[in-house]
Amino acid sequence: MPDLLIVGAGPAGLAAAIQAGELGLDTVVVDENTTAGGQFYRQYPESFQEPASPRDPQRERGRQVISRARRAAEFRLGASVWGIDGPDVWLDQGGEPDLVRSHCTLLATGAHDRPTPFPGWTLPGVITAGAAQTLVKGQAVKPGSRAVVAGSGPFLLTVAAHLVAAGVRVVEVVEAATLHEGLRLLPRTLPYPARYVELSRYLTPLLRHGARFTRGCVVAAAEGRDHVERVELEPLRGGPRRTRSVGVDLLCVGYGFSAPTDLARLAGCSLRWDTGMAQPVPRHDRWQATSVPGLLVAGEACGLGGASVSALEGQIAAIGAARQLARLSDPEAARLARPLWARLRRARGFARVLTDAFPHRLQLAELPTDDTIVCRCQNVRWGTVRKAVEEGAHDLNEVKTSTRCGMGWCQGRICGAALPDLITSRVDPGFDHSAVFTARPPLRPVRASTLARALPRR
């Protein structure tokens, strides 16, 4: 039985594995991807012939971190976690079930793009910003020739720069935040000069290749017959009054992130409302411990912060696990954690600036028409959901029962983030905006034979 099981091999999970190894903890890291690193340190598959592309310092840094983590822990990649009971988790690895029992478990499951339904978002060629980055960084795929990158937040510039490096012509970067919002918060960014260097690294190639930058606008619709051909842009309320069309064969959209909290909810963790993500996330103490004994959380699974915050939280969580297991006394744990807490306060300060600069926007809920698909797994349209709420569906689970939203392969991880905004903004202001679908195992698609082997025979 391992001392610490880490779910997720991104910045938080890798940092936790390294720290746990230094503390002498027997550690296992599981991740459903076939390579470690997560989105931030995205690596090519081991069997992949790496292209002769420009040097990527982030990938190279990731290789070093992954190498250190592999020396400190056992890795089980390509393993999906579909059930949890306290610190014990059920895995599916190649159709083989496995119950992994551990003394402590750290949930470091990261975050994914927050979906924003709008007319045409299901057309081929319309993908999330994170998907575009994965195709370019993880598979060396050029996903299109002429692109618009739209949404909100600095991640757009990162994705746009990676697309340009892959040979895609990025004709426009469309930011929902207005210039006034950015300038208002500019003084709060001055204590973080290194961030300006990072910003210039992404801006320079975009400017060199003639990308246009637009603020205060959103994608109102994507149009085309069998593939996206045009993007319709329009201002947010209060922006310049003009609507225009841009010809593209690729639209990358990213209006922030959502944290997958299904494991934490299934385990019974107490939740808190996170303003930056506009969703409930697991509540934790200063050691990253949740309300469930033996269960910890770190990284963007418990709130937006970026890779630096995630890594620091991962280190603290490993120290917290050693403290729970009595491998460290309280004074020893505090001595190790104290400098990390100080660095974490500073890193979270910048994260709060970004949250204020790029807030969650309920105006996006005005975009879908009745014919717009909101649940892609079950092909459910907004009009069907609207009618269900008008006829008496009072919470997300009743909407699920009435419409089949959330019953598909993704188990509501996509539509579940968008529905509360849509319903409270368009139909019922009293609808519980913090609502989530009830988590039930299996949390990931698994074969019936796998379940049969996992469950005790009667």
Question: Hey, what amino acid is at 199?
Answer: L
CA distance 9 to 170: 31
Closest of 344, 343, 268 to residue 303, by C-alpha: 344
Mean pLDDT within 105-126: 95
Using the structure block, give the residue that is written with the tokens 């990358």: 252
Q: What pLDDT shows up at residue 457?
A: 46
**Spacing of C-alpha 314 from chain mean position:** 16
CA distance 404 to 284: 33
Looking at per-residue pLDDT, the higher value among 306 and 106 belongs to 106
Mean pLDDT within 103-111: 96
Q: What is the torsional sign of CA 189, 61, 276, 285?
A: negative
Q: What pLDDT shows up at residue 278?
A: 87
Give every CB contact of residue 118 below 8 A, 6+ residues apart in sequence. Answer: 219, 220, 221, 222, 364, 367, 368, 372
- Rounded to 5 degrees, φ, ψ at 196 are -70, -35
Mean pLDDT within 257-267: 93
Q: What pLDDT shows up at residue 182?
A: 80
Q: What pLDDT shows up at residue 179?
A: 84
Mean pLDDT within 337-366: 91
Q: How confident is the model at residue 455 (pLDDT cuts 50, 70, 90)?
A: confident
Q: In the predicted model, is pLDDT for residue 240 greater than 60?
A: no
Q: In the predicted model, is pLDDT for residue 238 greater than 70?
A: no
CA distance 335 to 338: 6
Tell me the sheet residues that pair with 112: 258
Looking at per-residue pLDDT, the higher value among 411 and 295 belongs to 295
Instruction: Assess contact for 299 and 1: CB atoms under 8 A.
Output: no
Question: Hey, what amino acid is at 374?
Answer: V
CA distance 43 to 176: 30
Cα separations in angstroms, 314 against 17, 60, 109, 322, 365: 8, 20, 11, 13, 34
**Spacing of C-alpha 377 from chain mean position:** 19
CA distance 293 to 318: 15
Q: What pLDDT shows up at residue 50?
A: 67
Mean pLDDT within 91-114: 92
DSSP letter (8 states) at residue 51: -
Residue ranges of domains in the chain, CATH in brackets: 4-112+258-355 (3.50.50.60), 115-255 (3.50.50.60), 368-426 (no CATH)
Instruction: Assess contact for 247 and 147: CB atoms under 8 A.
Output: no
Q: In the predicted model, is pLDDT for residue 456 greater than 70?
A: no
Q: What pLDDT shows up at residue 51?
A: 66
CA distance 126 to 50: 26
- Rounded to 5 degrees, φ, ψ at 90 are -95, 130
Q: In the predicted model, is pLDDT for residue 202 greater than 70?
A: yes
Mean pLDDT within 7-19: 98
Using the structure block, give the residue that is written with the tokens 């937006």: 304
Looking at per-residue pLDDT, the higher value among 198 and 168 belongs to 168
Share of the chain above pLDDT 90, in %: 69
DSSP letter (8 states) at residue 363: G
pTM summary value: 0.93
CA distance 437 to 454: 24
CA distance 319 to 21: 10
Q: What pLDDT shows up at residue 458?
A: 37
HSE-up (13 A, CA, CB side) for residue 429: 0
Mean pLDDT within 28-44: 92
Q: What pLDDT shows up at residue 2?
A: 95
Share of the chain above pLDDT 70, in %: 96
The four Cα atoms 224, 228, 231, 237 give a dihedral, to 10 degrees, of 90
Q: In the predicted model, is pLDDT for residue 302 greater than 50?
A: yes
Tell me the sheet residues that pair with 218: 234
Q: What pLDDT shows up at residue 49?
A: 66
The pLDDT tens digits for 136-160 are 988 889 999 999 999 999 999 999 9
The helix/strand/coil state of 437 is: coil
Q: What pLDDT shows up at residue 53?
A: 61
Instruction: Assess contact for 324 and 309: CB atoms under 8 A.
Output: no
- List the single range of 45-59, 84-98, 414-428 with lowest mean pLDDT: 45-59
**Spacing of C-alpha 424 from chain mean position:** 23
CA distance 14 to 36: 8
| Mean model confidence pLDDT for the chain | 91
DSSP string, 111-170: -EEPP---TTTTSTTEEEHHHHHHHHHHH-----SEEEEEEESTHHHHHHHHHHHTT-EE
What kind and span of H or E run contains 187? helix 186-189
Closest of 432, 412, 437 to residue 421, by C-alpha: 432
Q: How many residues does the chain have?
A: 458
Q: In the predicted model, is pLDDT for residue 241 greater than 60?
A: no
Mean pLDDT within 233-239: 77
DSSP letter (8 states) at residue 302: G
CA distance 349 to 347: 5
Instruction: Assess contact for 213 and 156: CB atoms under 8 A.
Output: no
Q: How confident is the model at residue 411 (pLDDT cuts 50, 70, 90)?
A: confident
